[in-house]
Chains A and B, each alone.
Chain A
Amino acid sequence: MPALGADMTAGRLIAWLKRPGETVTRGDIIAEVDTDKGVIEVEVFTSGVLEKTLVEPGAKVPVGTPLAVIREAGGTPAPAPTPVAVPTPEGRAPVSPAARRLAAELGVDPAAVRGSGPEGAVTLEDVRRASGKGVRGERMRQAVAAAVTRSKREIPHYYIGHTIDLGPVTTWLAEQNRDRPVARRLVHSAVLLKAVAVTLRDFPELNARWVEGRAAPIADINVGLAISLRDGGLVAPALHHADRLSVDELMSTTLDLVERARAGTLRSSELSDPTITVTILGERGVDTVYGVIYPPQVAIVGFGKVVQGAWVVDGGVVVRPLVRATLAADHRVSDGHRGALFLAGVADRLREPGRL
């Protein structure tokens, strides 16, 4: 309700001259209002569509009361839309000129390649990935090759293995997951990572950096999780402060890291910060993994495949899900005794997964 006179405090709406749904243009007369000075026409100052009226004809309302809602034409520009593969009417997504040229060279059909560029366009990287020759994969392979060569040349590795009964973990996970929606469900890996991270608090000689001839302990426990990239290559980005994250947080962070590792959008801090690496290769069907330490780290923990096996409980043989845990560590910094205590500590923690 406009103030149609300096001393006007209220006005009575007489009639609407436009109906909801009608387009209004700036300057149109939209209503008639009765004031002390007589009937006055009310004009609008915006253009758009009259969405709804808020005051009935006959009602007297104070100046300033909203009378109607107008949906303006235009408005704020939309934020950049999340790109989705949008096929053209012929059913083909756009292909960048560079990608099309490379596809021709490599004998790849660009129409069959999934695009990750703006508006679902097929890009160079998409074509490379489809042909099995990921550029990022190659760069990364070379980096990994250099790191493991140096590792085997300079670090005296010792290896310890330990079989752990994951019965309590499996039972606990089944109970947890029964009531959880899929997006919040947990997998074994998250529990294993937490057990390793927490146990490391007592074993600083396994969470250190080898620099200039000595091991410098690191206060933070940033567990690097080995993630294989689908076009070949391996990254082990850090789960920062893994010992302080809950199992839930470790799970969601792991999902995020895997997603971004595959998309190539890991942050440099994630790649440079791991203080130890954990590799969980059991899914590929091997029962034991002997890791290669990534310098300047001084240890790497491995987990193999969870298999149902014979286990002795209270003098009797039962079937339990068993996993083979291994530690490869730098013998200049720790010895087998400490390594063994570490793995035993991890096993202890996995007996009570609810307390992790």
Chain B
Amino acid sequence: MTRDELRQAVLGVLKDIAPEADLSRLAPDAPIRDQLDIDSIDFMRFLIGINEKLHVDVPEADYQKVASLNGMLQYLGDRLSA
């Protein structure tokens, strides 16, 4: 999967959680949760969606690594190529 396809996949799941948001304006290195007003339940739904779509289960210990969009993409890229 290319970086771009991965990005589209992640944004697709995010669109499910925050359908009204303009994701093109998402700052890639700032925490997603703050920018999109996502609480812990929605964050779980986001991770569940990532798992369903990409078959990557992000354990609790790694939540800090996936807080931003770039962080998530980097993390998923590493997991998927491992």
Direct contact of A and B (CB under 8 A): yes
Minimum CB–CB distance from A140 to chain B (whole Å) comes to 15
Between-chain CB contacts (< 8 Å), 19 pairs: A114-B15, A116-B19, A129-B20, A132-B20, A177-B59, A177-B60, A178-B61, A182-B57, A182-B58, A188-B40, A189-B40, A230-B37, A231-B20, A254-B41, A255-B44, A258-B41, A258-B45, A283-B39, A283-B40
CB-based closest 8 A-B pairs: A283-B39, A187-B40, A177-B60, A182-B57, A182-B51, A182-B47, A129-B20, A183-B48
Residue of B nearest to A134 (CB): B20
Q: B45 contacts which chain A residues (CB < 8 A)?
A: 255, 258-259
Decide: A129 near B19, CB < 8 A? Known: A188-B40, A255-B44, A283-B40.
Answer: yes
Q: A49 contacts which chain B residues (CB < 8 A)?
A: none
Instruction: Please tell me if the beta carbons of B20 and A181 are within 8 angstroms of each other in the complex.
Output: no
Q: How far is the CA of A131 from the CA of B39 in the complex (A)?
A: 23
In the complex, A3 has a CB within 8 A of chain B: no
Q: A178 contacts which chain B residues (CB < 8 A)?
A: 59-61
Count contacts on B: residues with CB < 8 A to the other chain.
20
Question: Which one of B20, B48, B50, B58 contacts A230 once the chains associate, using CB atoms below 8 Å?
Answer: B20
Q: How far is the CA of A185 from the CA of B58 in the complex (A)?
A: 11
In the complex, A174 has a CB within 8 A of chain B: yes
Q: How far is the CA of A283 from the CA of B57 in the complex (A)?
A: 23
B1-28 CB mask vs A (1 if < 8 Å, else 0) is 0000000000000010011100000000
Chain A-chain B contacts (Cβ-Cβ < 8 Å), number: 54
In the complex, B29 has a CB within 8 A of chain A: no
Instruction: Please tell me if the beta carbons of B20 and A255 are within 8 angstroms of each other in the complex.
Output: no
Q: A14 contacts which chain B residues (CB < 8 A)?
A: none
Minimum CB–CB distance from A84 to chain B (whole Å) comes to 10
Q: Which of B40, B44, B61 has the most CB of A within 10 A?
A: B44
Decide: A174 near B60, CB < 8 A? Known: A129-B20, A130-B20, A231-B20.
Answer: yes
Instruction: Please tell me if the beta carbons of B57 and A181 are within 8 angstroms of each other in the complex.
Output: yes
Q: A185-B60, A187-B40 are in contact. List 17 more A-B contacts (CB 8 A).
A: A114-B15, A129-B20, A132-B20, A177-B59, A178-B61, A182-B48, A182-B51, A185-B44, A189-B40, A189-B41, A230-B19, A231-B20, A255-B45, A255-B48, A258-B42, A259-B45, A262-B19
A304-334 CB mask vs B (1 if < 8 Å, else 0) is 0000000000000000000000000000000
Minimum CB–CB distance from A111 to chain B (whole Å) comes to 13
Q: How far is the CA of A69 from the CA of B60 in the complex (A)?
A: 49
Q: Which of B39, B51, B57 has the most CB of A within 10 A?
A: B39
Residue of A nearest to B33 (CB): A283
Q: How far is the CA of A150 from the CA of B67 in the complex (A)?
A: 41
Instruction: Please tell me if the beta carbons of A187 and B41 are within 8 angstroms of each other in the complex.
Output: yes
Q: B20 contacts which chain A residues (CB < 8 A)?
A: 129-130, 132, 134, 230-231
Residue of B nearest to A254 (CB): B41
B55-81 CB mask vs A (1 if < 8 Å, else 0) is 001111100000000000000000000
Q: B40 contacts which chain A residues (CB < 8 A)?
A: 187-189, 283
Instruction: Please tell me if the beta carbons of B57 and A230 are within 8 angstroms of each other in the complex.
Output: no
Decide: A114 near B19, CB < 8 A? Known: A255-B41, A255-B45.
Answer: yes
Q: B50 contacts which chain A residues (CB < 8 A)?
A: 182
A111-155 CB mask vs B (1 if < 8 Å, else 0) is 000101000000000100110101000000000000000000000
Minimum CB–CB distance from A210 to chain B (whole Å) comes to 30
Q: A230 contacts which chain B residues (CB < 8 A)?
A: 18-20, 37
Q: A114 contacts which chain B residues (CB < 8 A)?
A: 15, 19
Q: How far is the CA of A258 from the CA of B58 in the complex (A)?
A: 21
Q: How far is the CA of A197 from the CA of B70 in the complex (A)?
A: 40
Q: How far is the CA of A275 from the CA of B74 in the complex (A)?
A: 46
Q: A258 contacts which chain B residues (CB < 8 A)?
A: 41-42, 45
Q: B42 contacts which chain A residues (CB < 8 A)?
A: 258
Minimum CB–CB distance from A184 to chain B (whole Å) comes to 9
Q: A284 contacts which chain B residues (CB < 8 A)?
A: 37, 39
Q: How far is the CA of A130 from the CA of B19 in the complex (A)?
A: 8
